[in-house]
Copies of this chain bind each other. A is one copy, B any other.
Amino acid sequence: MSTACLIIIGNEILSGRTQDKNVAWIAKQLSDTGIHLQEVRIIPDIKRVIIDTVNICRHQFTYIFTTGGIGPTHDDITSDAIAAAFGVPLERNPKAAAILEHHYGKEQLNAARLKMAEIPEGASLIANPVSAAPGFHLGNVYVMAGVPSIMQAMFDNIKHELKGGKKILSRTLSAFVTEGVIAEQLSQIQDQFPDVEIGSYPFVRNLRLGTSLVSRSTNATELDKVYDHIRKMLLTITPEVTDEDLAA
* Chain A interface extent, by class: 35 or more
Which residues of A8-47 have CB atoms within 8 Å of chain B's CB atoms?
8, 11-21, 23-31, 37-45
**Is B25 within 8 A of A23, CB to CB?**
no
Instruction: Assess the B111–A214 pair: CB atoms within 8 A.
Output: no
Which one, A155-163, A196-204, A221-229, is touching chain B?
A: A196-204
Q: List 11 A-B contacts (CB under 8 A).
A: A13-B23, A14-B39, A15-B37, A16-B37, A20-B24, A40-B40, A73-B200, A110-B180, A110-B181, A112-B183, A115-B183
Contacts of A184 in B (CB 8 A): 110-112
Chain B residues closer than 8 Å to A113, beta-carbon distance: 180, 183
Q: In the assembled complex, how far is the CB of residue A165 from the closest CB belonging to chain B, in whole angstroms? A: 15
| Contact across chains for A75 and B40 when beta carbons are under 8 A apart | no
Residues of chain B lying within 8 A (CB to CB) of residue A74: 183, 186-187, 190, 198, 200
Q: Report how many copies the assembly holds.
A: 2
Contact of A104 with B by CB under 8 A: yes
Kindly identify, within residues 166 to 187 of chain A, every residue whose CB is under 8 Å from any CB belonging to chain B. 168, 170, 172, 179-184, 186-187
Grouping DSSP codes into helix (H, G, I), strand (E, B) and loop, the A interface class, with mixed when no group exceeds half, is mixed
Cα-based distance from A72 to B184 in the complex (angstroms): 9
CA–CA, A197 and B14, complex, Å: 13
Interface string of A36-70 (1 = CB under 8 A from B): 01111111110001000000000000000000000
**Contact between B179 and A12, CB atoms less than 8 A apart:** no
Whether A19 touches B13, Cβ cut-off 8 Å, given contacts A39-B42, A71-B202, A75-B200, is: no
Determine whether the beta carbon of A186 is less than 8 Å from that of B73: yes
Any B CB within 8 A of the CB of A147: yes
Closest-CB distance, A8 to chain B (whole angstroms): 8
Contact of A31 among B16, B37, B111, B187 (CB under 8 A): B16
Chain B residues positioned under 8 Å from A181 (CB to CB): 110
A216 at the interface (CB under 8 A from B): yes
Is there contact, CB below 8 Å, between B27 and A180? no
In Å, the complex CA distance between A127 and B31 comes to 36
A76 to chain B, nearest CB (A): 8
- Additional A-B contact list (7), CB under 8 Å, known A73-B183, A73-B200, A111-B184: A11-B197, A12-B201, A39-B44, A41-B42, A72-B180, A73-B179, A74-B187
Distance in angstroms between the alpha carbons of A168 and B81 in the assembled complex: 26
The closest CB in chain B to the CB of A190 belongs to B74
